[in-house]
């Protein structure tokens, strides 16, 4: 019984995004004024940190923590390839739907703008 409870806890990472569960009425994609704190952090909070937080990265995030600017900035090229689902990296979010194009574009704009910490 105890083993079943542990197994359920280890395999219980959930990957649906908030946007997938609660789609916005508006279909516009606002990529103006892309900032780390204003636009990038919410993408990671809603789609990545269930597995890639500092607390969960070792057990469910392949030891890749994406909880702060330094982590995300250092891994930006790999993140972009994973969320665009191109190249040899595992497509992200793992076992979930591809992120909406607007979110991917927003992240890629932040990277193209030099990954500012703003």
pLDDT, tens digit (0-9, with 9 covering 90-100), for 68-92: 999 999 999 999 999 999 888 899 9
Beta strands in the chain (DSSP E): none
* Contact predicate 110/36, CB 8 Å: yes
Query: Tell me, what's the pLDDT at 18?
Result: 53
Query: Tell me, what's the pLDDT at 95?
Result: 87
* CB-based contacts of 103, cutoff 8 Å, min separation 6: 19, 43, 47, 83
Query: Tell me, what's the pLDDT at 5?
Result: 44
* CB-based contacts of 118, cutoff 8 Å, min separation 6: 35, 36, 37, 38
Query: Tell me, what's the pLDDT at 19?
Result: 53
pLDDT, tens digit (0-9, with 9 covering 90-100), for 35-61: 999 999 999 999 999 999 999 999 989
Q: Give residue 10's pLDDT band: very low, low, confident or very high (50, 70, 90).
A: very low
Query: Tell me, what's the pLDDT at 96?
Result: 87
Q: What is the mean pLDDT of the chain?
A: 84
């Amino acid at each position: 019984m105890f083993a079943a409870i542990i197994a359920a806890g280890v395999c219980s990472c959930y990957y649906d995004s908030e946007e997938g569960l609660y789609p916005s009425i508006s279909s516009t994609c606002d990529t103006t004024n892309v900032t780390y704190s204003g636009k990038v952090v919410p993408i990671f909070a809603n789609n990545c940190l269930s597995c890639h937080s500092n607390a969960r990265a070792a057990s469910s995030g392949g030891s890749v923590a994406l909880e702060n600017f330094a982590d995300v900035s250092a891994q930006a090229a790999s993140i972009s390839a994973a969320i665009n689902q191109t190249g040899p990296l595992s497509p992200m979010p793992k076992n979930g739907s591809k992120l909406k194009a607007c979110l991917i574009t927003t992240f890629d704009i932040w990277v193209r703008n030099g990954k500012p910490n703003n």
